Amino acid sequence: MRKVYLFAILFCLNFGNIFSQKNFNPPATKQIPVVDSLFGYIITDPYRWLEDKANPEVKDWSVKQDEYARQWIALNTKPIEGLNEEIRRYIDRDYRSAPFFKGNREFFFARKKGEQQNKLYTRIKGKEKLIFDPLKIDPSGKTAIVSYVLNKTADKLAVGVQTKGNEIAKFYFIDTKTGKEIYPPIDNVYSLNWCRDNRFVYITYRSMDDIKNQKPLKTYLHKLGEGPEKDLLILATKDAKDFASIWDDENSSLTFISEGDFYSNTLKVVNSSAPSDTITLFSSKEFQAFPIAVKDGKIYFRTNFNAPNSKLMVASIEKPTFENWVDLIPENENPKEDFVVTNYNIIVREKKDVLSRLRLYSLDGKFIRELELPEFANVSGISYNKETGSIFVSLMSFTTPAKLYRLDEKELNWQFIFEDKPPIETSNLETKQVFYTSKDGTRIPMFIVYKKGLKLDGNNPTLLYGYGGFNVSMLPHYIGVTASFVNRGGVYAVACLRGGSEYGENWHKQGMLK
């Protein structure tokens, strides 16, 4: 990874010099034209054949291109003093993640300089305790923690690992006080949720064969410690593109079931007091709805039903079907990302001009005020711990790593909890947001990060990044080792293209030409 960063920064810093050299002659690439008609346009792609990474000819092409590029840079660019060491210090260092909490328990990830993977720790009576180390499973360092699921009381943990970046997880089951395995691990797991009875889990399997043959997902009730042949099938999708999930709400006797695709779903509920009765709450081929809280006899739903930017609706547990839902916090021009329902209020995380902020509402949906942040930053995450009455807010900017703050749910006072302090100087960098006009006249936002005092005259080496897909927003995020490039006179720009969700569902659909 360090070599990849170094190569990219060297390329950008020497960009003008590279293409002014007469001896830049990379290995030739053959062309095999493929013609497509897309949205009324004829597109000719001469390099489609390079997408087949299993093709020996493609592998050979990749090796030769890489070898030539590295040789050319070694011969034609000057070493950048201190860059190699700076990137090494950033990547290989003592690291600790922000803590995360459940009930009265605290957990965090950490690794020491020289270690290749994060380990999972807890804190018990002020003392740190290692509870899961992927290096014990795979000393080569090629197995990483990719997910974790705590049960309601946080005394049991299901932790998923993947090896060599594959898409298949293996889950281990851990006692979070001792770090000992309490059940045999389960392989080929796509998703997993604890049941209310912690002897069981809801589990969706997914093998490499399932992925290769695009088999529909199936979810089972699995008793821990028993073989999969005893599993009970409880959910099955009909198409590989569809999703299905089931989970027990931790604050009630309700179990929710969601089935659907990327754009729509059917939501059902089962009450453990009447387990034979399954009630369909919501069903649509155009919209989605998900429960985000159950409190005081009410279910709160986040939905985009006739609300592309999302809204909050509510219904009673006694009359939970959609015709009884009532708008609580309606849609507005700003996309809503999260709703947190506490004992005293509702906090909404929403985006305005690609910057997330927090707005405070009463429990009956009346807007009170915007919550002023303790510093200028993007709100990158928010969560609620009902047991302790704490709201945890993560803040981040292009030049500041994630910082974690705690808000008391009643007083709403900010308390600093944690920040990462990587060894790269960013205090001399600044960020500005600009807007430019797209081909069709649409106003597009873009962030620019540069060194203070740098003249932005179009002559600086610039790394421009854009995504514009899958409803993903390019919100301000810590640039990490890219700061090494910016500190040396480079400019880093992020264009917030359509196809993401920067301005809601309409922005997303425009990127799909809909």
Backbone angles phi, psi at 218, to 5 degrees: -135, 140
Block residue for tokens 């179009």: 458
CB 216 within 8 A of CB 198: no
> pLDDT per residue over 227-285, tens digit each?
999 999 999 999 999 999 999 999 999 999 999 999 999 999 999 877 778 999 999 99
**% pLDDT > 90, the chain:** 89
The CATH architecture that domain 96-335 belongs to is: 7 Propeller (2.130)
Query: Does residue 115 have a pLDDT over 70?
Result: yes
Backbone angles phi, psi at 457, to 5 degrees: -110, 10
Block residue for tokens 């589990």: 203
Mean pLDDT to the nearest integer, 289-310? 98
Mean pLDDT to the nearest integer, 125-154? 97
CB 173 within 8 A of CB 185: yes
DSSP 72: H
Q: How far apart are CA 457 and CA 85, in angstroms?
A: 30
Q: How far apart are CA 157 and CA 180, in angstroms?
A: 10
Q: How far apart are CA 301 and CA 339, in angstroms?
A: 9
> pLDDT per residue over 440-471, tens digit each?
999 999 999 999 999 999 999 999 999 999 99
CB 86 within 8 A of CB 406: no
Q: Where along the chain do its domains lie?
A: 96-335, 336-420
Within 10 angstroms of residue 305's Cβ, the number of other Cβ atoms is: 19
